[in-house]
Amino acid sequence: MRQFQFQAITLTSFLAVVKQALRQTLLLLLSLVQHSGNNQSVKKGQKAYRTSFLPFYLLFPSLKGLGVGFASCLLALGFLLYSFPAQAATPINPQLEQQVLQIIREHPEVILESVQAYQQQQQQQIQKQREAFLQELKANPKGVIGSSPTTGATELKTVLVEFSDFQCPFCAEAQKTLKPLIAKYQDEVTLVYKHFPLTSIHPQAMPAAKAAWAATQQGKFWQYHDALFNQQDKLGEELYLDIAQTLNLDLEQFNRDRNLADTAIQQDIQLAAKIGLSGTPSFIIQSETFSGAVQLSALEKVLASTNK
């Protein structure tokens, strides 16, 4: 990022000011779009826009027509705002705020530069964390496994870690690969299941994960796991209880444990985020990472290279 003759400003501090400003500006821009058919509303919105917390009007001075160029700016602002982790709002030092605003007025392009620098830092951090995870998986697989359910080889020769979501159709498809793999290499490969419910797109992913975790407490995770994937189109409270009854689980304990599952599931989710996973299913075996409905041949290729 370019250097300026101001008091030292960290990238994090700079982005904190920009993020707060973007949030307010984006709301104003959205208001303009919603009222784009009313000239009076647009004029009022433009006036508010020009006097907002951050004078982004200097960056995009022409709003005439509210056309494609403006829409592109709006999308860019949305990207910048939501590309940073959510965190509690904290007071911003007025002197720091003025320094940042002065930089942006004179050099508006630093917004994109700062975001790019931030993203690069994040990627480097994720890469370090992933490498540390892979080293731990190799040196201390029991530590990585923790209390997660496993199947396959009891001796931890080759560990395959799966991050999965019970409502994900690709995760269900991946079971067609995992089952024959474990059957064929049952003395060599240990499959570890980590919960990674994508709650933003799969409303039943978390309830299903909690139900499966509760079944784990009674030693029936894999049976419950298979039943969920086999009836993925029926996910819901009725199915969770039906499977529990079919597997002869203690229903009182099952319901109690479902309410205690959140901490363990959140630990899996945090691990996935820490090592840069963003979708399901995701698999880690040795130093290789796969995503999607992985093919059996791809996993066997990794196993073959390991056994050489």
Q: Are residues 66 and 102 in the same domain?
A: yes
Q: Are residues 105 and 186 in the same domain?
A: no
Dihedrals φ, ψ of 157, to 5°?
-80, -55
Q: Are residues 264 and 300 in the same domain?
A: yes
Check if the beta carbon of residue 208 is closer than 8 Å to that of residue 271.
Answer: no
Residue 128 lies in a domain: no
Which pLDDT value is given to residue 246? 98
Q: Are residues 149 and 213 in the same domain?
A: yes
Name the residue range of residue 278's domain.
140-306
Task: Determine the 3-state secondary structure of 189 from DSSP.
Answer: strand
Q: Are residues 156 and 41 in the same domain?
A: no
Dihedrals φ, ψ of 159, to 5°?
-105, 125
Q: Are residues 156 and 202 in the same domain?
A: yes
Residue 5 lies in a domain: no
Among residues 118, 151, 182, the one where a domain terminates is 118
Q: Are residues 145 and 263 in the same domain?
A: yes
Instruction: Single out the residue of 251, 243, 238 nearest to residue 223, CA to CA.
Output: 243
Q: Are residues 104 and 235 in the same domain?
A: no
Distance CA 171, CA 208 (A): 13
Q: Are residues 94 and 212 in the same domain?
A: no
Q: What's the CATH code of the domain at 193?
A: 3.40.30.10
Cis peptide bond prior to 197, omega within 30° of 0:
no
Q: Are residues 114 and 152 in the same domain?
A: no
Query: How far is Cα of residue 18 from the mean position of the Cα atoms in its chain?
Result: 23
Distance CA 117, CA 84 (A): 12
Q: 192: part of which helix (H) or strand (E)?
A: strand 189-195
Number of domains the chain contains: 2
Residue 180 lies in a domain: yes
Rounded mean pLDDT for each run of 10 residues along the chain, 308 residues in total? 48 62 52 46 42 41 40 47 48 68 70 74 87 93 96 95 97 94 95 97 98 98 98 98 98 98 97 93 90 86 77
Check if the beta carbon of residue 66 is closer than 8 Å to that of residue 34.
Answer: no
**Number of neighbours of residue 28 by Cβ within 10 angstroms:** 18
Residue 123 lies in a domain: no
Q: Are residues 147 and 260 in the same domain?
A: yes
- pTM of the predicted structure, to 2 decimals: 0.68
Residue 124 lies in a domain: no
Which pLDDT value is given to residue 41? 42
Q: CA separation (Å) from 110 to 62, 72, 101, 105?
A: 20, 18, 11, 10
Q: Are residues 181 and 285 in the same domain?
A: yes
Residue 300 lies in a domain: yes
Among residues 64, 84, 118, the one where a domain terminates is 118
Residue 97 lies in a domain: yes
Among residues 86, 118, 150, the one where a domain terminates is 118
Which pLDDT value is given to residue 133? 94
CA angle 304, 300, 287 (to 5 degrees): 75
Residue 130 lies in a domain: no
- In the chain, alpha helices (H): 11-34, 39-50, 68-82, 94-106, 110-139, 141-145, 169-184, 205-216, 221-230, 237-246, 251-258, 262-274, 296-306
